Amino acid sequence: MPAEPAKSPMRKRAASSEKRIADISADKDIRVRILGTVLDASESTILVDDGSGKAEIQFDTAEETANLQRGQLVRVVARVLPLIDGFALRGEAVQDMSGLDLQLYKRAKDIISS
């Protein structure tokens, strides 16, 4: 009887939580989702503003940020890396949210949170 293939251990990722940039805590947050506007995109780094603050997000490759344009609405999933004086964000995924009705989205969030 042939041997069963070895099963690789399944790695679980921490769930991402939706956060405003100003509310990100290096001590508490592991993975975050940020909805904001691209202010700048160069090589493998983007600068995003969500209205509460700005954050520079570093990706592994320039390929992940190649199609992003200044002024584009995006959702970014990023890992929070604690630093001595704050945190850094390592981008894992970026999603174009240009078709999102931002005002309707904010109203829905307000209704849900109240």
pLDDT in tens, 40-74: 998 899 999 999 999 999 999 888 888 899 999 99
- The first and second tokens of residue 104, run together, are 């309707």
69 pairs with which residues across the strands? none
Quote the tokens at residue 92: 């894992």
Please name the residue that has the structure tokens 């592991």.
Answer: 30
Range with the lowest mean pLDDT among 25-29, 32-36, 110-114? 110-114
The model's pLDDT over 86-112, given as tens digits with 9 standing for 90+, comes to: 999 999 999 999 999 989 988 998 899
What's phi and psi for 94, nearest 5 deg? -135, 135
Give residues with Cβ within 8 angstroms of 10, minimum separation 6. Answer: none
Under the banding of pLDDT at 50, 70 and 90, the label for residue 113 is confident
Q: Which residues contact 72 (CB under 8 A, 6 or more apart)?
A: 37, 38, 96, 98
Enter the tokens of residue 15: 């769930």
Q: What is the spatial distance between Cα 18 and Cα 27, in angstroms, rounded to a whole number? A: 16
Q: What is the CATH number of domain 17-113?
A: 2.40.50.140
Q: What are the sequence ranges of the domains in the chain?
A: 17-113
Instruction: Write out pLDDT tens, residues 5-27.
Output: 666 676 777 788 999 999 999 99
- Is the per-residue pLDDT at 78 higher than 90? yes
Give the Cα-Cα-Cα angle 79, 88, 54 (nearest 5 degrees): 100
The pLDDT of residue 66 is 87
pLDDT at site 97: 94
